[in-house]
Structure 1
């Protein structure tokens, strides 16, 4: 219910429910369980959506670390956490951190779920919007991956506008 309220923008109703769910999962399942990691992720997303970035980041980092440890580095839930952390850094304008996270999430989803899966498509769209923003802000120096440059510029033409339509 807390995640639903969060998605609806009803943050004051969502936060106590998400905190309660996190505590219940910890009590029932122990500190190191994938459902605890998901609860941390949900709470981190809530704080990120509220602009409470200093509260969001440690929760999203902990969720990512736990998911990698518990599920393996190439699990779809890890890709979800990479995307969420990348989205937080995007909102903060920390672009040098965004690119590798979104590219890794995209790689995992493509490998495990295929290019047409909705989760893959969501991360791909997030990545393209990120590149578009980098270009609009003239911050191409924040990009490190050759793939990103190729997407922005192909044969001297700026192609992002066509990809985002």
Structure 2
């Protein structure tokens, strides 16, 4: 674990910089590659997808809402709305997903 700091915009979100201590560790390299294959995207979008996969729905929703406030283009906003809708639908909230 490298640096750990709170995000400036939301005190409940933390940014953690991780580094691999031994790049020759085949298990760690394999795990990292597997995560990259399964969870596409970039930066915080990838983190949101990971949160959804491990069932941290509240944290994922909070992160996506934060990203939505900072989205700079329609493509990013569309992706975030899509992820929020999928999350609600998967939780059985179809009506919330489509509104």
When the two structures are superposed, what TM-score results if normalisation uses the length of structure 1? 0.35
Given the superposition, is the C-alpha separation of residues 95 and 84 from structure 1 closer, same or farther in structure 2, using an over 3 Å criterion? Answer: same
The count of corresponding residues between Structure 1 and Structure 2 is 66
Given the superposition, is the C-alpha separation of residues 7 and 51 from structure 1 closer, same or farther in structure 2, using an over 3 Å criterion? Answer: farther
**CA deviation after TM superposition for structure 1 residue 99, in Å:** 0.8
In 2: Cα distance, 1:3 partner to 1:80 partner:
23
In 2: Cα distance, 1:54 partner to 1:45 partner:
12
Q: Over residues 112-161 of structure 1, what are the superposed CA-to-partner deviations in whole Å (9 max), with x where a residue is unaligned?
A: xxxxxxxxxxxxxxxxxxxxxxxxxxxxxxxxxxxxxxxxxxxxxxxxxx
In 1: Cα distance, 2:63 partner to 2:34 partner:
19
**CA deviation after TM superposition for structure 1 residue 3, in Å:** 9.1
Say whether residues 1:90 and 2:94 are aligned partners.
Answer: no
Listed as ranges, the matches of 1:14-33 within 5 Å are none
Counterpart in 1 of 2:68? 64
Q: CA RMSD in A?
A: 2.4
When the two structures are superposed, what TM-score results if normalisation uses the length of structure 2? 0.54
Counterpart in 1 of 2:53? 49
Runs of 4+ in 1 over 3 A off after TM superposition: none
Q: Extract unaligned runs of 5+ from structure 1.
A: 10-37, 101-165
Counterpart in 1 of 2:14? none
Larger radius of gyration: 1
In 1: Cα distance, 2:97 partner to 2:50 partner:
19
Given the superposition, is the C-alpha separation of residues 98 and 3 from structure 1 closer, same or farther in structure 2, using an over 3 Å criterion? Answer: farther
